């Protein structure tokens, strides 16, 4: 059920870009990608300082990391573009079959690679090496980005301004909350959920408990 009021933002940082796509938490930093700028930035979460800037003209959607490498949703049809976080060099790609533009969100975890796709809207768990689907859960809305906290996948819906939590064991939505602005990429820093507010051009943190309430 949609929360009757917008849940509070507990932290807010400016984004260096204008077309906020992906977000992930890696090596104590927020990494944010921007399609128009063709950039991936590493942002210090205390004061929002950009500590690294990588050129990446293949950005199309969300961002995650796996085994020390950034994994950017990019290209047409969409695939994972593997980027060295130190140099920005593209070190490989991984196809997402069947090829399409449906992929919008992704986050790596100990279980594998979580993805959200549109048309129809589903959350998938894939094996990172083979990219085969291990689990698929139908979900609501039009997903734009996601993150994972233990066995809970949290995904953003840009069009409605909602964030939804999915219990991956039960295969159902267990929380829905309205957030400020238009959420795209999401990340979990171990304490808070972060999302890109596309309209405000800011990175905003919310509490997981407020989504599950």
Quickly list DSSP for 24-48: EEETTEEEEEETTTTEEEEE-TTT-
Q: Per-residue pLDDT tens for 61-78?
A: 999 999 999 999 999 999
3 state DSSP class of 124 = strand
Q: Per-residue pLDDT tens for 124-157?
A: 999 999 999 999 999 999 999 999 999 999 999 9
Question: pTM (2 decimals)?
Answer: 0.96
pLDDT of residue 4: 55
Q: Alpha-carbon distance 184 to 199, whole Å?
A: 10
- Count CB-CB contacts under 10 A for residue 82: 19
Where do the domains of the chain lie, and which CATH numbers do they carry? Answer: 19-212 (2.130.10.10)
The tokens for 195 are 């999302």
């Amino acid at each position: 059920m949609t929360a009757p009021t917008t849940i509070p933002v507990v932290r807010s940082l400016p984004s260096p870009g204008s077309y906020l796509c992906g977000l992930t938490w890696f090596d104590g930093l927020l990494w944010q990608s921007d399609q128009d700028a063709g950039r991936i930035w590493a942002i210090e979460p205390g004061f929002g300082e950009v500590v690294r800037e990588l050129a990446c003209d293949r950005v199309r959607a969300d961002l995650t990391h796996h085994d020390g490498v950034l994994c950017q949703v990019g290209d047409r049809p969409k695939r994972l573009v593997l980027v060295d976080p130190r140099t920005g060099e593209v070190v490989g790609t991984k196809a997402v079959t069947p090829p399409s533009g449906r992929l919008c969100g992704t986050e790596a975890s100990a279980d594998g690679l979580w993805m959200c796709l549109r048309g129809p809207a589903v959350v998938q768990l894939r094996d990172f090496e083979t990219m085969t689907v291990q689990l698929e859960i139908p979900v609501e809305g039009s997903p734009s980005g996601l993150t994972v906290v233990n066995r809970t996948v949290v995904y953003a819906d840009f069009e409605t301004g909602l964030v939804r939590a999915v219990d991956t064991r039960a295969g159902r939505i267990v929380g829905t909350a309205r957030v400020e602005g238009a959420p795209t990429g999401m990340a979990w820093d171990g304490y808070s959920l972060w999302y890109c507010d596309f309209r405000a051009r800011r990175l905003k943190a919310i509490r997981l408990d407020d989504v599950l309430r």
